[in-house]
A and B are shown apart, each in its own frame.
Chain A
Amino acid sequence: MKAKIRKIVTFVEETRSEMGKTVEPPTRRAAAVAVIENPFSGKYVEDLSELMEIGEELGGLLSERAVASLGIPGPSVESYGKAAAVGENGELEHAAALLHPKLGTPVRKVLGKGAALIPSSKKCGGPGVPLDIPLGHKDAAFVRSHFDGMEIRINDAPRANEIIVAVAVTDSGRPLPRVGGLTKDQIKGEDGLR
């Protein structure tokens, strides 16, 4: 494995009620987050291909872990998202190299499908920085009930020479969606949008 991983943290959230109203079945979402060494910290490096390959490895590893923590088969995942936070000796472009060129393909392999763009966010920050992972339906980006976000943080990461990389998956949309728009039973699933 190319990635030098210091720790992996998984988060599982289950919402059973909201404003006293029962959520049945409960909505569940999970994030798997790796803390890795940044091979390019402290210097400007033009060619970021090493981080792109690390992104590919982490796409498979983290999506497998996140799906496993929900205890469901990959194809049952409804929405997904990804994010990275770069420690202070790195640059935002390092997060882009991890997330955008190669991370998505192995995620879609684990999920069986995934026609929609994987929504993403990135930032630079210190240990404990909150990371808001955007979430969208995996087959149709316009499904309004599944627009969401999941906040995660790890108190001791990223250190200056580290990057945290997160993949989040859900088995559902928001707990009590009621703002209309495209619903999941209307998905055509051809273009990743509707």
Chain B
Amino acid sequence: MHKVEVRKRVTVMEEVFHEGGPAAKVPLRRAATLSVIHNPFAGKYVEEIAGFMEDLNPLGLEMAKSLVAALGGDARGIEGYGKGAIVGQAGEIEHGALWHVPGGYAMREILGNAKAIVASTKKVGGPGARLDVPITHINASYVRSHFDAMEVGIADAPRADEILLALVMTTGPRIHARVGGLKASEIKGEDGLR
């Protein structure tokens, strides 16, 4: 059991009106919430780390709720999601993997048991490192219009003994999506893929 110590929280919300093409009737909104936490395993090799996933559950839920709030407050309006982590240099990539379960399940729970696996990425990096968090449709990973990514980062984080945890949600497809593939309207929604 480790205490989850949060040094700072950053929320970024993008509202996209167009990208050179016709302006969308409803702008696309994408939001990321980032928590900078102390890495309890920094500076040494620790074999048993899995228990920290449970410690992170409340933070995951709090972050998922704050993302829905940043995007208008209605979970039914969320169509895409993703997650990621940047581990400070005194930690290892495996510490970033601790975020898969608490980050992913928190979003799926808040979004009414979303079916698709939550796309993710992670790395080790210094303060100001940028992370391209992948985004896919919440109920069917193959929906091509919703493949997206959001670049995040914080100038002063992660410090060596910190982990930057990220969750991302979007309200729709890419602003000018037009490369075919499975459409959101064609989802069967049984297996999380199609």
* A interface residue numbers (CB < 8 A to B): 5-18, 20, 69, 128, 130, 151, 153-155
Contact = CB atoms under 8 A, between A and B. Distances in A.
Contacts of A10: 11-13
Interface stretch (B1-9, B42-50, B51-59, B104-112): B1-9
Contact of B9 (A8, A16, A69, A128): A16
A7 B15 contact: yes
A9 B14 CA distance: 4
Contacts of B14: 7-9, 154
A153 B14 CA distance: 12
A14 B18 CA distance: 30
Nearest to A12: B11
B38 to A, nearest CB: 8
B151 interface: yes
Interface residues of B, number: 21
B155 A155 contact: no
B26 interface: no
B10 A12 contact: yes
Contacts of A17: 5-8
A18 B14 CA distance: 28
B19 interface: yes
Contacts of B153: 153
Interface in B147-184: 151, 153-155
